[in-house]
Every structure is written in structure tokens, then in C-alpha cells.
A and B are shown apart, each in its own frame.
Chain A
Amino acid sequence: MKFPALLLLVVAALAFLPACTKTTPYVSDDLRLRHKGADMPIWVRGNMEDRKIVLFLHGGPGECAMCLREYFAAVEEEVAVAYWDQRIAGSASGNADPATLTYPQFAEDLRMVVLLLKKQYPDAKIYLLGHSFGVEMAWQFLTTPGNQDLVGGFVALNGTYSTFDWLHTVQQWVIEQAQTQNDTEALQYMQNIQLRPDNMASVVQWGEWYTRMFRLGANPVWPSDDKAYAFKLWFATPHSKFSQITNVALYDDYYSREIFTFNRRALLKDVHIPVALFWGAKDGIMPIAHAYETRELLSTPTEIVRFEQSWHTAFYTEPELFARELLRFVGEH
């Protein structure tokens, strides 16, 4: 082989060698869980000195965890964060069947992730941070016997314990906002819906609901509005945008059937670990009234942390306050 080709080989080989981890309190570990057809990445990043890991349960369903890492930089300075892309979500690969997108399966996957983190970091304490759908997953997990003592606490950010109770709260929010903003069409649309637990699948048209919610300002800001962030997401992170696009399109059955089965209302009283309800006060996707409804059902002491300048994603709109409050919760528990 000629010299230039040999040189190219050496340079390229070095480029392909994965980075080695550092001998500092900061971890940068790439893990993957293979379970029931899904190959789910778990990226653990941050400061492990206090042996505390915040396991981030992303929303969607079908969205991503690692894709939001830059909003957790201040959190990573103090504790470690585990970014887990759930089955058929984010960068998760494999050949998982969309029929496995059920709440019991989500909870089982979460249990496996927690156990894997405990295996990898035996003396670390794990806290759940759920966002939106991630809160549903966490309630399913925490109200399944034998799970909640695996974690040290739960921070719920704008998420629900019951699809019916959530939809009912949203319906009221739309009616109030439509009256305030003089949107007669939205007002009539929502007032004409007789929502009951047994008719949700037939009366809830997702596109119709979300069109009116967003028109009334349910959540006018998204991280993807930031062009620099969007560019990085496509080209410069471990996240795979194409995987996410593929995965998020596989939830038709979930939205037509599974989501309407979710109801952990009666089981919340059994949760005894520390819980905090973080809530964007202006959110119309998961209105703040739902935070107070959630707290009423919990028997464990629960604080509500309001983010007055935020809608659905307080870690994006108020990142410093969000990090401070999250670290305070983790520090206290």
C-alpha cells in the first residue's frame, strides 16, 4: 500500500475510535437497553460526585431525550442526567412492534432502565423527571407494585395521571380562553362536546382539539423555533432526527386506542416517595389547574413549583429557574 493510503488509514482509524471516558466526576457513558424488540439508547452525562442521577422521561410520546440535552447544562454541572430515548422514540432503533406501545410496556421499560442504571452505578440514587407524556409513564411505573422504592423522588413537569381528567381540564381551558379571546367558533366547538370516560375515543378528534388549543395560545414556543438548536439537532448531536421522524409516525394505534385506557387516578394515593409538580403556568396543553387536581389525589407531601413565564416546556423558557428548582428538589431528597 502506498504511503498516502497508509496515512489515510491511520487518520481515519483514529477518527472512528470511540472516545474514552475521563477519570473525573463527570461521566459520559453511552448505554443501550435491548428489550422486547427495542434498542433504546441511554446517554448518561454530568457530575456523578454526589452519586445522583436524574432520569429524564421525555414527552411525545415518540419525542426524544438527548435532543433536549442543552437545556440541562446547569443540571449536569451538579448531578448526572440520564437521557433515555424510549421504545420507538427519538433515536431508539431495533425492530419493535408498534403494538408494544402500551402503558404497561412503557412502565416495564422504565423499570428495566432504572435497574440497568442501578447495575451500572450501584450506589447512585435515581430521580425521575417526567415531561408531559413522560409524566404518564412515571405515574404508570410508580403505581405499579414494587417500583416506586427503586427511585428517590419524582418531578412531574406538565403531565397527567389520567387521559380523561386531562381532556376535561383542557376542555375547560379552551372554553375559558375562547370566552376571554372572543373566539366563538372554538367556544361552540368545545361546548358541544359531551366528554365522558366511555366516549373519549369517539368524541376526541386530536387535530380539531389541538388546532383550537394552539390558536388560543396553548403553547406558542418550542425549542425547535431556535434555528441554532434545530441545526445542531440535525447535524451535531448523538440524536438522529431521521429516526425521530420515523418513530413519531408510528403512534396511530396509540392515539386511537391506548391513550384512552390511561387512568391511574385511584392509585396516586399509594405513592409515598417525594413528589414535586413543576408547571408552566401559561400552558394550555396541560393547564395548571391540573397540577392542583393532581396534588389533591396524592397523599405524599407534594409541592407545586410554578413557572410563571412558561407554557409546556419550562426547561426551555426558564432554564435557570428550572435547573435551580430541580437541583433543590434533588438536594433535599
Chain B
Amino acid sequence: MKRKHHRPGRIAALIIWLAVYLGFAHDAYAQNLRLAYFGETLTHYGLRGGMEYTLRHAEKSKSGGRISANDLYFGLTLTLYRHPHNHVGLILAPELGWRHIGKRGGIVQAALSPGLFRSFYEGATWRSDGDGRFERVPLAGQWGFLPGVSVGYGHRLGKAPDAPYSWCLNLHYLRQYPYNRSYLHRPAIELGIIKQTR
């Protein structure tokens, strides 16, 4: 059998670079940066990078001088995941979220996101003309609208109140439209790091 090289692999590398860039390298404007493992149905592995801008910030003083905070934020995330031998998925999702940071550094958060989805099928896709002639479809896949909700829990890494890193686990419920004139459930898990830049 012939050895094959697939274009989606090169696209994946570019997207991964963008996700890492959004997640860790690009901190000129954002107040928080995120980088996480993103698994569609847990095992379809991927990477999510994002940045967040705080829209509203409120603090409450607690006993012992500790402070808890509530943030309303706008985020922008880019995700790439792979369902092996099925497809590679790309999600661009703005996000409106609320985050509570407790006095001991515990994090609870929830977010809404209207996402844009594009899949790239693995392997070769052929379009039929109905008469037995086939034409290869380059970068075959499917566009979709991918709204979702997420809830998350996390904790600051380190004891100092201004420690810049936190870990966070988000559970996502996403729906892909359209899908065979219907919609497709897409649960996902996100586990990663939030870096506070300001």
C-alpha cells in the first residue's frame, strides 16, 4: 500500500500553534490566558487556548484580610481536537462567563458560548456524480454552529493571593447545528491552566 500524507495534519499544526499562542504566548491585551486539554467525549483528544477580558470585577473582604471575587468576563477560545480515524475538529468560540474566586483560592465558574465549528474528515473524501465518476473533495468536512454551556471548578496554584496560575476543570455541553437536518450532542471536558496576566 502507498504511504500517504494528509493535509489535515499540516492544518492541525497551524491551529495548534494558534491555540498555544492564544493560550500562553499572547498576553499583551488579555487579563487571563488559558491553555487546556480539551477532550470531546473525554477521549477525542485536543487542545484549547484562549484569552479572557474582565468586564466586571467585584471583591468582598473576608475575615483575616482575605478577599473573594466575582468576575464577569468575555473570552475567546480556539480548540482543536481529534477523533482518530474519523475527523479533526476546530472550534472558535467566544464566551461570556462568570467566575467566583473564593477566599482560599477555590474557583467556580460557568459560561455560555456561541461557537463556530469546522470538521476535517480523516482520509480521502470522494464526491459522486451519480454515474460512477468520483471527484476528490479537498479539505472535506462540515461547518456548524456550536453553541454550548459549561460549568467548571478549579483552584489557585500556590498560597499567595496574587499567585498567577490556577488549574481549572470545565465540563461542556455543546450542540452542533446542523447535523442531518437535526443537531448533534457534543459533550466535552476541558482541563488546564489559567494564567492571570494583570
Contact = CB atoms under 8 A, between A and B. Distances in A.
B29 interface: no
A60 interface: no
A228 interface: no
A34 B1 contact: no
Contacts of B8: 16, 18
A21 B127 contact: no
B125 A94 contact: no
A13 B184 CA distance: 27
Interface stretch (B80-88, B101-109, B146-154, B155-163): B80-88
B132 A115 contact: yes
A288 B119 CA distance: 44
B121 interface: yes
Given A96-B180, A234-B41, A242-B186, A16 B127 contact: no
Given A39-B142, A247-B180, A13 B16 contact: yes
A247 B142 CA distance: 16
B171 interface: no
Contacts of A15: 45, 82
A243 B41 CA distance: 12
Interface magnitude class on chain A: 35 or more
A18 to B, nearest CB: 5
A247 B45 CA distance: 23
Q: Secondary structure at chain B's binding surface: helix, strand, loop or mixed?
A: mixed
A22 B1 contact: yes
Nearest to B86: A238
B5 A94 contact: no
Given A17-B12, A20-B5, A96 B123 contact: no
A203 B58 CA distance: 66
A230 to B, nearest CB: 13
B5 to A, nearest CB: 7
Nearest to B186: A242
B126 A250 contact: no
B9 interface: yes
Given A32-B125, A96-B181, A240-B83, A18 B9 contact: yes
Given A15-B45, A116-B128, A93 B142 contact: yes
Contacts of B3: 20-21, 23
Contacts of A35: 127-128, 130
B2 A21 contact: yes
A247 B20 CA distance: 35
A35 B134 CA distance: 10
Contacts of B55: none
B56 interface: no
A235 B41 contact: yes
A30 B123 contact: yes
A88 interface: yes
Contacts of B12: 13, 16-17
Nearest to B88: A16
Given A21-B1, A96-B180, A250-B182, A34 B126 contact: yes
Given A16-B12, A35-B127, A5 B24 contact: yes
Given A1-B25, A18-B9, A242-B41, A34 B140 contact: yes
A235 to B, nearest CB: 4
A243 B87 CA distance: 13
B123 A16 contact: no
A31 B124 CA distance: 5
Interface in A78-102: 88, 91-98
Interface in A6-41: 8-9, 12-13, 15-24, 27, 29-35, 38-39, 41
Q: Which 10 A-B pairs have the closest CB atoms?
A: A30-B123, A16-B12, A238-B85, A17-B9, A32-B125, A13-B13, A235-B43, A115-B132, A34-B127, A112-B128
29 contacts: A2-B24, A8-B20, A13-B12, A17-B6, A18-B8, A18-B9, A20-B3, A29-B1, A30-B85, A31-B124, A32-B124, A32-B125, A32-B126, A34-B125, A34-B127, A43-B85, A88-B180, A95-B179, A95-B181, A96-B181, A98-B180, A108-B130, A119-B134, A235-B43, A238-B83, A242-B41, A246-B183, A246-B185, A249-B182
Interface of B: 1-6, 8-9, 12-13, 16-17, 20-21, 24-25, 41-43, 45, 47, 80, 82-88, 119, 121-128, 130, 132, 134, 137, 140, 142, 178-187
